[in-house]
Amino acid sequence: MYQSEIASDLRRRTSDPHARGAGLRGVSRNVWFLGLTSLLTDTSSEMVSAVLPVYALYFLHLTPAAFGIIDGLQQGGASVVKLASGLLTDRTRRYKGIAGSGYLASALSRLGLLAGGPSSTWLAPLVALDRAGKGVRTAPRDALISLSVDRTAFAVAFGVHRTLDTIGALLGPLLGFFILRKIRDGYDVIFVASLALAAIGVAVLITFVRTPPGTASTVAAPLAEMWTPSFTRIAASAAILGMATISDTFIYLTLQRNLGFDTTLLPLLYIATPSVYLVLSIPFGRIADRVGTMRVILIGYGAMLAIYFILTSSLPVTIIGAATVMLLGMFYAATDGVFAALTSAQLAPERRATGLALVGTLNDVGRLLASVGFGWLWTIHGPAASAVREFQGILIAALALVTALVWPMLKRSTT
């Protein structure tokens, strides 16, 4: 494990190097500003995403099949872009520049929506540009977060960032629908507001976010010396756990089709889950810094396992719905930022962007395989509940395997 902690050079606060869990005091201003950038950018993105189906299907009169392709672009991650951007970041050390270009790409896509007018021709390429921007900025931004705080505050720093990010994701739709309510067919006004927010987000990044000093050394081949035993274990864990995780979509589909959950309440689920996520992100980050990130991650996957059992239980459907929302929010709060913290702690600063992108991509690929597998099980078994039941076994096995893999880390609980 790398003991050198370059971020400590940057530290302007006093902290006992032996203390674990610096808490919110350990979160530097850099992280808050990165979070603010994400908040603004996510508000900007989500206000467009929320009204996009209605804009495309009714205003532009796109056929559902054609919009389905755009919708797929929205949902799918840009994993390849993420990995390439991580490699480039570590080869050039241009954290701010590369993250900034990702934020800028999303802002430019809004400009395109405005310039294109009410036309569907450019919609798909512009949505792709926005998503590519998201893929480009993730790795350098997460690397910057880790470089901006002491390792005793990794998890809480990611928790702060994810909380601010999720606030943006919740504010965006509210603002979008508010504008539509005030201005009939006011899609152009939404695009202008979205562009302004995205531009301010880029300005916050440029003005206030600093690349921590002492991160000057570049590595020509970041992937080469990355595979230390502990990093390999984490990367394998990310892939294995991803493969045992049912996508949110399938969880909601199971709720609807199998349990007859009132489908008109579905939009509420999409609000409730991030709300729980945003409330729990910082507390779980603090706990992770204190008791060890891997332990909290395993608790998060325990929450996912609880969802699988609740979905196949005979409880009233409203209770199943409420419990699923709570547990899913908990799952994300205990895994997303915490996994980034765990990964950062295993990597030398000059390989973090690549490593974070790699672990993120492995998890994405695992989850994609899980979705394909779940769809296949659903197809051969019929009802979704039997597919969920299969995944109970898969997740228990994955948890056992991962626990064995990371046992040394769990015992030491330093990560």
Residue 413: helix, strand or coil by DSSP? coil
Of 20 and 210, the one with the shorter C-beta distance to another protein is: 210
Residue 121 touches another protein, criterion: CB under 8 A: no
Distance of closest approach, residue 102 Cβ to another protein, in angstroms: 19
Q: Candidates 54-62, 138-146, 217-225, 321-329 — which segment interacts with another protein by CB under 8 A?
A: 54-62
Of 15 and 120, the one with the shorter C-beta distance to another protein is: 120
Alpha helix segments (H runs only) across 57-153: 64-75, 79-92, 95-116, 123-147
What's CA 293's distance to the chain center, in Å?
17
Distance of closest approach, residue 312 Cβ to another protein, in angstroms: 17
Distance of closest approach, residue 154 Cβ to another protein, in angstroms: 21
Contacts (Cβ under 8 Å, ≥6 apart) of 407 = none
Distance of closest approach, residue 176 Cβ to another protein, in angstroms: 9
> What is the number of alpha carbons within 13 Å of residue 135 lying toward its C-beta?
24
Is residue 110 a contact partner of residue 197, using CB atoms and an 8 Å limit? no
Distance of closest approach, residue 18 Cβ to another protein, in angstroms: 27
Structure tokens at 373: 């597998």
Of residues 280 through 309, those in contact with another protein by CB under 8 A are: none
Q: Candidates 19-27, 275-283, 367-375, 400-408 — which segment interacts with another protein by CB under 8 A?
A: 367-375
Distance of closest approach, residue 41 Cβ to another protein, in angstroms: 13
Of 166 and 415, the one with the shorter C-beta distance to another protein is: 166
What is the length of the chain?
415
Contacts (Cβ under 8 Å, ≥6 apart) of 73 = 124, 127, 128, 131
Distance of closest approach, residue 183 Cβ to another protein, in angstroms: 6
Is residue 388 a contact partner of residue 311, using CB atoms and an 8 Å limit? yes
Report in angstroms the alpha-carbon separations of 89 from 5, 9, 98, 261: 19, 21, 7, 45
Of residues 162 through 221, those in contact with another protein by CB under 8 A are: 173, 177, 179-186, 188-189, 192-193, 195-197, 199-200, 203-204, 207-208, 210
- What distance, in Å, lies between the first and last C-alpha atoms of the chain? 10
Of residues 225 through 284, those in contact with another protein by CB under 8 A are: 247-250, 252-253, 256-257, 263-268, 270-271
Instruction: Give the one residue of 19, 221, 319, 372 binding another protein; rule: CB under 8 A.
Output: 372
Of 18 and 61, the one with the shorter C-beta distance to another protein is: 61
- Taking Cα atoms as reference points, which of 399, 79, 346, 402 lies closest to residue 227? 346
Of 89 and 312, the one with the shorter C-beta distance to another protein is: 312
Residue 29 touches another protein, criterion: CB under 8 A: yes
Instruction: Give the one residue of 4, 220, 379, 411 binding another protein; rule: CB under 8 A.
Output: 379
Q: Candidates 56-64, 324-332, 356-364, 405-413 — which segment interacts with another protein by CB under 8 A?
A: 56-64
Is residue 143 a contact partner of residue 352, using CB atoms and an 8 Å limit? yes
Of 284 and 391, the one with the shorter C-beta distance to another protein is: 391
Cα angle vertex 172, ends 263, 257, to 5°?
15
Structure tokens at 191: 């695009």
Distance of closest approach, residue 123 Cβ to another protein, in angstroms: 12
**Rg of the chain in Å (alpha carbons):** 21
Of 83 and 202, the one with the shorter C-beta distance to another protein is: 202
Cα gap 92→256, rounded to integer Å: 48
Distance of closest approach, residue 244 Cβ to another protein, in angstroms: 15
Of residues 138 through 167, those in contact with another protein by CB under 8 A are: none
Is residue 367 a contact partner of residue 394, using CB atoms and an 8 Å limit? no
Residue count, binding to another protein (CB under 8 A): 75
Q: What residue type is 357 in one-letter code?
A: A
Is residue 324 a contact partner of residue 255, using CB atoms and an 8 Å limit? yes
Distance of closest approach, residue 110 Cβ to another protein, in angstroms: 11
Of 46 and 165, the one with the shorter C-beta distance to another protein is: 46
Of 73 and 296, the one with the shorter C-beta distance to another protein is: 73
Cα gap 193→381, rounded to integer Å: 47
Report in angstroms the alpha-carbon separations of 291 from 170, 194, 302, 338: 30, 40, 16, 12
Of 205 and 288, the one with the shorter C-beta distance to another protein is: 205
Of residues 57 through 76, those in contact with another protein by CB under 8 A are: 57-69, 71-72, 74-76
